[in-house]
């Protein structure tokens, strides 16, 4: 049986339509599977961080090294293996310092831990912060950044918290 060119073309278009439906069905199946996987990812709540100590170290006329001591509380029912924490610090609403932890540590499930974080501050920001808290002996702070995890599917947990620290 011989087919005309238009019939062959029609069959080719039909075959492409079937192939397109197969690709669409495969795409839809993958999207549903990915959505299901997304709901199975671990849901970690950011640890609560509070600045509990400030130690001013060495510096020069432009920058000041400061070691901040943080108290962290883990609200999650699983331990959080932390590779590092990067943060920015504001005092009295002004950018003050940025830095990161030096060593990895694990925050126990539903537990607490203290850790040090080294930051570099602009000298002018240090003087302004000290002056603003001079009469009160405390200053308001905001610390925000990311907790970098040691492994797993979830790699970072963002955080943004406020508090008051004693000078």
Indicate whether 58 and 140 sit together in one domain.
yes
* Strand, helix or coil for residue 94: strand
Q: Which domain, by its residues, includes 99?
A: 48-166
Indicate whether 34 and 52 sit together in one domain.
no
Domains held by the chain: number: 2
Indicate whether 25 and 67 sit together in one domain.
no
Instruction: Enter the pTM of the model.
Output: 0.65
pLDDT at 42: 63
pLDDT at 130: 67
Indicate whether 35 and 55 sit together in one domain.
no
Indicate whether 15 and 60 sit together in one domain.
no
Indicate whether 116 and 134 sit together in one domain.
yes
Indicate whether 64 and 118 sit together in one domain.
yes
pLDDT at 19: 44
Indicate whether 65 and 2 sit together in one domain.
no
d(C-alpha 154, C-alpha 134), whole Å: 42
The pLDDT tens digits along the chain (167 residues) read 565 655 544 444 444 444 444 444 444 444 444 444 444 456 778 888 888 888 888 888 889 898 989 999 999 999 999 999 999 999 888 888 999 998 899 999 999 999 999 999 987 877 776 676 666 777 888 999 999 999 777 788 899 999 887 76
């Amino acid at each position: 049986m011989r087919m005309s060119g238009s019939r062959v073309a029609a069959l080719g278009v039909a075959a492409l339509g079937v192939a397109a439906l197969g690709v669409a069905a495969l795409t839809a199946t993958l999207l549903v599977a990915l959505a299901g996987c997304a709901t199975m990812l671990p849901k970690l709540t950011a640890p609560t961080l509070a600045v509990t100590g400030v130690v001013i170290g060495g510096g020069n006329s432009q920058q000041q090294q400061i070691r901040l001591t943080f108290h962290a509380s883990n609200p999650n029912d699983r331990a959080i293996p932390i590779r590092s924490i990067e943060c920015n610090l504001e005092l009295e609403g002004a950018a003050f310092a940025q830095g990161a932890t030096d060593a990895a540590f694990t925050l126990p499930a539903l537990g607490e831990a203290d850790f040090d974080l080294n930051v570099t501050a602009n000298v002018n920001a240090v003087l302004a912060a000290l002056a603003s808290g001079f009469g009160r002996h405390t200053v308001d702070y905001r610390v925000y950044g990311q907790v970098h995890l040691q492994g797993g599917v979830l790699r970072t947990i963002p955080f943004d918290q406020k508090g008051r620290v004693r000078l």
